[in-house]
């Protein structure tokens, strides 16, 4: 029996999976982030954490990294080639021999598409877009901040909510019902206390930003013009990244676009999702099939490891077996 290993390393948590080469779950483990971007020590700490966590899950099964036949690492912070090469080096040093490592957006493609290639748009805590075309060429658009148009994700929604309320109070912005929500969250009643509250509570991260993200969808569904505008602007940023990815790679007329992340999946109204789809179709002029991923993105890491092991993308039946193993 051979062994497969998959890792989904996000900005907040990391899932480690050990499977048999036949697609049966042997063990799983969840821990905090292993992203080098989360630590002052950077790649040094990322290697330390991954080594420890991998050592635990494999050690409990009397295995070492050299016993693994194929592995896939989907890691947040693997955004540019210099980062990719450093992470490849780290994984080799840990002891893996046959593996792939890419940004975690790419494993969404393996988890959600029917052919193993397409585009994945991440809209969770943060945002990123990855594409794999029919020839296996990969491209990542964004993932390194606003300079590359990363104006999406839950934190960005929350930031925009507070910014638009500030605009309303001081910069001739449009009136919005979000003002009362923000004032209540900050514990203020006077607009002249708003700037201090932003610095002391929001920028310093002493308040849960999720409440602002959820409120934006809630008020948008009620017709608040400012809330709707925030979501539609975000849809525009997401759509341009996805469309640019599609047009920069080699796809036929039909393209599968996987949508992952809580802002897509848990949306209480469909304004953002609908606008995103509308714009991608407009920009690309292609027959795009949109897939909101309803299985753990980590599924893609094992499917990719299985593809690496077999030398071919797993059959639909085998992919379903892997998905069911993780679901149960």
278 and 192 in one domain?
yes
Average pLDDT of the chain is 94
Alpha helices in the chain (DSSP H): 43-59, 81-94, 105-112, 154-170, 178-186, 194-197, 210-221, 225-248, 262-265, 271-284, 299-310, 316-327
Total H helices, total E strands in the chain: 12, 10
Nearest alpha carbon to residue 30 among 5, 7, 61:
7
110, 147 Cβ separation under 8 angstroms: no
Say how many domains are in the chain.
2
122 and 197 in one domain?
yes
Q: What is the pLDDT of residues 177-209, one digit of tens each?
A: 999 999 999 999 999 999 999 999 999 989 999
The pLDDT, as a whole number, for residue 88 is 96
**Tell me, what DSSP letter sits at residue 38?**
G
288 and 151 in one domain?
yes
153 and 84 in one domain?
no
- Domain of 22 in residue numbering reads as 3-104+297-327
Based on the number of CB atoms within 10 Å of its own CB, is 239 exposed (0-12), middle (13-18) or buried (19 or more)?
Answer: buried
Region of 174 on the Ramachandran plot (φ > 0 left; ψ -120 to 50 alpha; else beta): beta
Q: Grade residue 321 by pLDDT with cuts at 50, 70 and 90.
A: very high
122 and 229 in one domain?
yes
Neighbours of 287 (CB within 10 A): 10
138-141/99-102 β-pairing:
unpaired
Across-strand partners of 300? none
88 and 175 in one domain?
no
Residue 328 predicted with pLDDT over 80: no
CA distances to 125, 154, 258, 283 from 130, in Å = 16, 19, 10, 17
Q: Grade residue 295 by pLDDT with cuts at 50, 70 and 90.
A: confident
Q: How many residues does the chain have?
A: 328
Nearest alpha carbon to residue 9 among 100, 71, 76, 84:
76
160, 154 Cβ separation under 8 angstroms: no
The pLDDT, as a whole number, for residue 10 is 80
323, 297 Cβ separation under 8 angstroms: no
Report pTM. Answer: 0.91
287-292/254-260 β-pairing:
parallel
Q: What is the pLDDT of residues 1-32, one digit of tens each?
A: 899 999 998 877 899 999 999 999 999 999 99
Q: What is the pLDDT of residues 82-137, one digit of tens each?
A: 999 999 999 999 999 999 999 988 999 999 999 999 999 999 888 999 999 999 99
The pLDDT, as a whole number, for residue 34 is 86
Cα 95 from Cα 89, distance rounded (Å): 10
260 and 138 in one domain?
yes
In the block, residue with structure tokens 């930031």: 159
> What are the tokens at 136?
């296996």
Domain with residue 170: its CATH number is 3.30.420.40
The pLDDT, as a whole number, for residue 6 is 96
178 and 50 in one domain?
no
119 and 100 in one domain?
no
263 and 140 in one domain?
yes
Helix axes 225-248, 210-221, angle to 10 degrees: 100
């Amino acid at each position: 029996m051979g062994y497969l290993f998959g890792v989904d390393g996000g900005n907040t948590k990391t899932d480690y999976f050990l499977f048999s080469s036949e697609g049966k779950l042997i063990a799983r483990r969840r821990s905090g982030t292993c992203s080098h971007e989360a630590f002052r020590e950077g790649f040094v700490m990322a290697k330390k954490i991954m080594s420890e966590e991998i050592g635990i899950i494999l050690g409990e099964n009397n295995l070492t990294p050299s016993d693994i036949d194929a592995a896939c690492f989907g890691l947040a912070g693997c955004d540019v080639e210099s980062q990719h090469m450093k992470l490849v080096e780290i994984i080799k040093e840990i002891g893996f021999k046959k593996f792939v490592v890419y940004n975690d957006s790419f494993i969404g493609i393996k988890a959600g598409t029917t052919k193993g290639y397409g585009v994945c748009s991440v809209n969770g805590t943060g945002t990123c877009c990855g594409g794999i075309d029919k020839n296996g060429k990969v491209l990542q658009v964004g993932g390194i901040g606003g300079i590359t148009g990363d104006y999406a994700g839950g934190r960005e929604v929350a930031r925009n909510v507070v910014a638009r309320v500030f605009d309303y109070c001081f910069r001739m912005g449009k009136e919005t019902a979000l003002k009362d929500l923000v004032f209540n969250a900050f514990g203020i009643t006077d607009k002249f206390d708003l700037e201090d509250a932003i610095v002391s509570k929001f920028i310093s991260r002493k308040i849960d930003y999720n409440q602002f993200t959820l409120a934006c969808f809630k008020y948008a569904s009620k017709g608040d013009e400012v809330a709707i505008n925030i979501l539609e602007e975000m849809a525009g940023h997401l759509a341009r990244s996805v469309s640019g990815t599609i047009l920069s790679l080699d796809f036929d007329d039909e393209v599968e676009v996987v949508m992952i992340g809580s802002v897509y999946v848990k949306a209480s109204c469909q304004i953002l999702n609908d606008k995103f789809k509308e714009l991608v179709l407009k920009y690309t002029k292609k027959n795009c099939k949109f897939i909101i991923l309803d299985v753990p993105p980590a599924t893609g890491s094992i499917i990719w490891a299985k593809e690496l092991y077999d030398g071919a993308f797993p059959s639909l039946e085998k992919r379903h077996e892997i998905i069911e193993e993780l679901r149960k």
